Structure 1
Amino acid sequence: MAYGADLARLDFWARPPDDRHQVFAKLRAADEPVFVEYPRPGQPVDGFYALTRHAEILEVSRNPQVFSSEPTSTSLDDPPSVLRDYVGSMISLDDPRHARLRRIVSRAFTPRMIKKFEDDVSLIAAQIVDRLAERGPCDFVTEVAMPLPLTIICAMMGIPESAYGDVIEATNVIIAMGDPDYVGPDGQDRASVLIEKFSFLHALMGELAQARRAHPSDDLVTALVHADVEGESLTERELGKFFGLLVVAGNETTRTALSHALALFTDHPDQRTLLLDDLETRLPTAVEEVVRYATPVTWMRRTVTGDVELLGHTYRAGDRVVLYYNSANRDEAVFDRPDVFDITRTPNPHVGFGGPGPHFCLGAHLARREITVLLRELFTRLPGIHATAAPVRQRTSFVNGISRLPCAF
């Protein structure tokens, strides 16, 4: 068993990206499973196994019966009991409860509603670039990358515009919570901060659900509160948990991918030229390469339910394993020149939306459309747009987030 990886420390994730990629390359080459410790004051030493190879991620993702998403898939340690009423939507459930929730939720995503969302993406992307063209140099994250997914998700759910700021602030904090090193504002503990943010989201969903039951509208909340699959519908608690999942996942990942796209096309002018030479043909593979190279969601956790052999190594019941998608997306055994940003890369079997299986990202189609439409709008109307400084990165291991990225054109 190999020890010594620093992956549970926020200081590791503050290191330059190239340094981190070198560490993961060494971990992929290790002959033994890599165990990561994170001792905490006054508590027993805890830890997990870091799964860094593409083949490991695929195998674990396809076997949810052995590699469980419960009690959580988004925290390196187990959530305290006081949090269980707030966290644990279907992303942190196994079948049959996961299948039941996904079945009910999927019923709400009708073809007509999906078509409406897709039309909204085009309209909102055009409005964002209109404002950008008028405004001039600005922070790309707050003025471009953030508004698109935030506006789409809020429009889908019928969230009033006055709540947008509070929603994005809550999602930013929740994303940071997967790290044991996290310390909240004024020294608050993680559980207290999480309860505060999730309580806000649950209360907002409760208000929306109550309003849509009395006055149905053409939005996702109306569809969710009236969804019925063989006599089953979502409980109030399930509605709140799914709402929290949707606004966090729907905002952060697309925002992160779009921010990285601008940084990447600034740092790789040859790839920008290649893209602009044939935008419509190369945009689909460019989007996939941005997602692979950036890997917006860095990891997910699983818990082993019974002794199992994985690629020649035995893991025991109760072991925690963390699937590092960022490492799998640079696995030399799968990708030719994995550290090269190449928008013509094909095939591109990345796991940027998770591995195959029941937990593959429900919003992958919408995320791809948002990234594609906004990049098309940007590079058609403002082909010279570029970052004017290095990105300021979010302090979290869970997403490869960018908090600020100045741009000009």
Structure 2
Amino acid sequence: MGIAEPLAPPDLTDLAFWARPEAERLAAFARLRALDRPVFFPEPRVPLLRPGGGFHALVRHADVLEASRNSAVFSSEPAAVSPEPPPWLPLVFGRPLVNMDDPRHARLRRIVSRAFAPRRLDALDGEIADTVDEIVTRLARHGSGDFVADAARELPIHVICSMLGIDRERRDHVLSRIDVMTEYSGVRGEMHRLATARLLVGNLKAIVDLRRFVVGLGRARRRDPGDDILSALVTADVDGERLSLRELGSFFDLLLVAGNETVRNAASHGLVLLSEHPDQRERLAADPDALMGTAIEEIVRMCSPIVQFRRTLTQDHELRGHPLPAGSKVVLFYGSANRDEAVFDAPDTFDVGRRPNPHVGFGGPGAHLCLGAHLARRELGALFRAALERVPDLRTAGPAVPLRSAFDNGIVALPYTV
């Protein structure tokens, strides 16, 4: 018998790779983790939309931690989102918090972090409980349907809008804009033309609509502040500094997209995991007080709601003995890091009691650790606790329909039955 040729590295820039079954993608990342250095992937330039170039893929847990902690070398500017947006975009819409380095990042984070202070989160418990009650009641009444539409997309948007004091009559409009903004996030390869059209015609219009909406709300709250977080943000004075309305718009984009998608994706994938692993579901249902916290962490680890972020090197740096020149790009693949055999025992096994669980599903440690992680944990814990208690027979009723994206590990539709 001849010796089999080693499998070629997957093309992480091609949408066809992200359309493969999950098992194939996980196996491909396992092969990348086994290599002695990060693999470089070229990115073709797309006029008006993508600057081109390429990146080194950071797929090991240790590499993702290093890049996350060392923001002096691994910069979030000009962009942490991946693929990198065109240079003209921040000139038009401003630079969001996620695409900033200190000291600007520290200044804005200091202001917006008050939105996630313990007192503020405690005040949201009632809204979370009421929203979860509505969702579970709907699931029980319908008996079957689409879990994304009936539950996963409803919970985070109502909680975030409640945080910002946005009335229920306007939330459907906000959610529709978010759906447009995230529908083709991270699309590349064969989808360049479609991505370009979508971004220029739909995505940008959605951003403009939301910006106008929040700037109008911000102006109104400055004139007549209330007891909501939006009022606190537009009137905040931290060491003499305040958010401009443009900065508020950028933060609003981040909060609505990142805060919404993380919970929405984890909730959907969580139902899949609990349906596919009835032993773990029964274990969790038998002792939710002891296991709900670890179960949520395990759901986030297994699904990694956000697939990737990128960094740009500010200076020459050596990673695992491999030189990376200043100006080069790296992309942090959180899903791969969360399956690293060097860190997690049986990494492909779903274990609701897993300890320790140093996952990077909310981003790696450091300056850009997700501000809303604690809020997301509260929402997910409340949803699954109520579902286990009130609709214990809730299960998936067919395969999930995944989002076409290399950035957002989303589910477009998920049939369920009670």
Structure 1-normalised TM-score?
0.95
Name the counterpart of 2:330. 321
Instruction: Report deviation, 1:95.
Output: 0.1
Deviations 1:307-364 (A, max 9, x none): 0011221111111100000000000000111111111211111000111101000000
- Shift, 1:382, TM fit: 0.7
State how far apart, in whole Å, the 1-side matches of 2:94 and 2:203 are: 9
- Residue number in structure 1 paired with 2:17: 12
Give the Cα separation in 1 of the matches to 2:417 and 2:405. Answer: 27
Q: 2:79 aligns with which of 59, 67, 72?
A: 72
Letter in 2 for 1:334: V
Matched, 1:266 2:275: yes
Structure-to-structure mapping, 1:170-181, within 5 angstroms: 170-175=177-182, 176-181=184-189
Match of 1:27 among 17, 26, 32: 32
Residue 365 of structure 2 corresponds to 356
Amino acid at match of 1:269: P
SS in structure 1 of the partner of residue 366 of structure 2: coil
- Residues 212 and 222, structure 1, Cα contact 8 Å, conserved in 2: yes
Among all aligned residue pairs of Structure 1 and Structure 2, give the percentage whose two residues are the same amino acid. 48
The one-letter amino acid paired with 1:348 is N
Contact between 1:5 and 1:34, CA under 8 Å: does it hold in 2? no
Matching of residues 111-126 of structure 1 within 5 Å:
111-126=118-133
Contact kept in structure 2, 1:75 and 1:179, CA below 8 Å: no
- Please tell me the residue identity of whatever aligns with 2:287: D
Report whether the alignment pairs 1:141 with 2:148.
yes
Contact 2:58–2:64, Cα closer than 8 Å, also in 1: yes
For residue 225 of structure 2, the aligned residue among 195, 216, 224 is 216
Could you list the per-position Cα deviations for residues 276-302 of structure 1 after superposition, in whole angstroms to 9, with x for gaps in the alignment? Answer: 222221111111110100110111100
Whichever residue aligns with residue 38 of structure 1, its letter is: E
Once the two structures are superposed, what CA deviation does each residue of 1:94-122 show, in whole Å capped at 9, x if it has no partner? 00000000011123445432221123212
CA contact (8 A) 2:185 2:408 kept: no
Which residue number in structure 2 is paired with residue 308 of structure 1? 317
**Which whole-Å CA distance do the structure 2 matches of 1:345 and 1:228 have between them?**
42
Q: Give the residue type in structure 1 aligned to 2:20.
A: R
Question: Residue by residue, what CA displacement relative to the aligned partner does 1:105-149 show, whole Å, maximum 9, x if unpaired?
Answer: 123445432221123212211121122222221110111111110
1:197/1:87 CA distance change after superposition, 3 Å: farther
Which sits farther off after the overlay, 354-363 or 69-78?
69-78
Contact 2:146 2:416 in 1 (8 A): yes
How large is the RMSD of aligned CA atoms in angstroms?
Answer: 2.0
The residue aligned with 1:199 is 208
**Counterpart AA for 1:177:** S
Matches of 2:216 and 2:368, distance apart in 1: 29
Change (3 A) 1:187 1:91: closer
Partner of 2:113: 106
Match of 1:127 in 2: 134
2 CA distance for matches of 1:111 and 1:119? 14
Distance in 2, Cα, partners of 1:310 & 1:186:
33
Give the partner amino acid of 2:256.
V
Classify the secondary structure of the residue corresponding to 2:240.
coil
Distance 1:84 1:179 in 2: 22
Q: Note if contact 1:299-1:323 (Cα within 8 Å) is conserved in structure 2.
A: yes
Matched, 1:289 2:294: no
Alpha-carbon distance change, 203 to 3 in structure 1, aligned in 2, over 3 angstroms: farther
In 1, Cα distance between equivalents of 2:215 and 2:104: 22
> Which stretch of structure 1 is more off in the superposition, 217-226 or 321-330?
217-226
Equivalent pair of 1:85/1:237 in contact (CA under 8 Å): no
- Aligned counterpart, 2:4: none
| Pairing partner for 2:65 from 58, 70, 86 | 58
Report what 1:400 is aligned to: 409
Contact (CA 8 Å) 2:10, 2:17: kept in 1 or not? no
Distance 2:308 2:72 in 1: 19
Map of 1:38-53 to 2, 5 A cutoff?
Answer: 38-40=43-45, 46-53=53-60
Query: 1:94 is paired with a residue of what secondary structure?
Result: coil
Check 1:308–1:150 CA distance in 2 against 1; reply closer, same or farther (3 A cut): same
Residues 301 and 186 (structure 1), Cα distance of their counterparts in 2 relative to 1, 3 Å cut: closer
Structure-1 residue corresponding to 2:3? none
**1:252 to 2:257 alignment:** no
For 2:26, the aligned partner's letter is H
> Take 1:16 and 1:190, find their aligned partners in 2: how far apart are those partners?
26
CA distance change for structure 1 residues 230 and 34 in 2, over 3 Å: closer, same or farther?
Answer: same
What TM-score, normalized by structure 2, do the two folds share? 0.93
Shift of 1:210: 1.7
Shift of 1:156: 0.8
**Aligned-partner residue type, residue 394 of structure 1:** L
The amino acid of 1:234's aligned partner reads L
